[in-house]
A = this chain, B = another copy of it.
Amino acid sequence: MPVVTGPLVLGVDSGGSGLRVALADAAVPGRTETLTARVPVRTGPDGIDAGHMRELLLPMARSLLERSGHDGRDTVSAVVIGAAGMATLGDGLRAELPRALGDALGARTIGLAADAVTAYAGALGQAPGAVVAAGTGMIALGTDLTAWRRADGWGHLLGDCGSGAWIGRAGLEAALRAHDGRRGGSQPLLERMTAVLGPAQEVPALLYPRTDRPAVLAAFAPEVAACAGADPVAAGILARAAEGIAESAAAVCPPAGAAPEGCRVSLTGGLLKMGDPLLVPLRAELTRLVPHAVEAPAGGDPLAGSLLLAGALATDTLRLPTHPTMLHVCDASGRNIRTVHDG
């Protein structure tokens, strides 16, 4: 049985693929137990469903406490929940969860964070800098530790410039341009589209009725990367994607001079698995648009970021700025503990 040496903290990462919960001893780095529920928390007309989150989360938290040898008297000092959609769909969570977590787990401090914030904390900890999270969508978040700056993350129709959905969409357009004999077409991408989706005339009926259109588009992005070595059209798409991502990073980086060693920029998310076809032009664009950027490898994932933030709350060492929707920090009665409004 572990000896309790510091405050217990709970970190949560809630997204489209489900819920991950981790318990840690804030004083002992690395002593962490994690549980995963492959059920995503429901989103209804009023936003993320607080009742569903509670139903999934509390049994997992109790189970983690038991598994790690803590009895009923051990309570959790701080809980941080990072959730996709927290900024725009998190009103219900902010209203209901603090009291529920206080009642059930004895939590004294609760943080409710946008997933971009936990991604930031996971990647860069509590240091100033900028984090790009690029997968099916794309968002950049930066801070000088006085306020958050956010760029893009507007979804596949309004932005997410350079994301997987953006690259896949551009690849399919280039394939159809080749099919039509229009300028800007790519015969290799047309061949890949036909191989993976079928003949051109069937592609609209495969895509438009789907409710997960961004994911359908993003699924074609690896084909664009695979063609980029030999096909200038595919390479051009990745060059423009790199530009879109770098433009977002540039918009959120603290200015040159804020830190003598430059602005730490961390690139995170599944899109980076594409490797060199994207990363080579992305690093070149970053150097061009943000000369003071210094690439920093991500220290951990968003769940690690939730735990790190919970540890900071438990030990009153939070340096990242709070914000009404991006990082809401309160006690179990729901009273704000501190809030810094950004621009």
Contacts and interface: CB of A to CB of B under 8 A. Distances in A.
Contacts of A282: none
Contacts of A289: 183
Interface in A225-262: 247-248, 250-251
A151 interface: yes
A150 B180 contact: yes
**A87, A181, A201: which has the most chain B beta carbons within 10 Å?**
A181
Given A208-B155, A208-B157, A180 B251 contact: yes
A182 B213 contact: no
Given A159-B176, A172-B158, A217-B157, A151 B182 contact: yes
Contacts of A247: 177, 182-184
Count of chain copies: 2
B158 A176 contact: yes
Interface string A202-237: 011101100001000100000000000000000000
Interface residues of A, number: 35
A169 interface: yes
A173 interface: yes
Given A88-B201, A88-B204, A205-B88, A154 B183 contact: no
A115 interface: no
A203 B157 CA distance: 11
Interface of A: 87-88, 149-152, 154-155, 157-159, 161, 169, 172-173, 176-177, 180-184, 201, 203-205, 207-208, 213, 217, 247-248, 250-251, 289
> Nearest 8 CB-CB pairs, A to B?
A151-B180, A181-B251, A182-B251, A183-B247, A182-B247, A154-B176, A180-B251, A155-B204
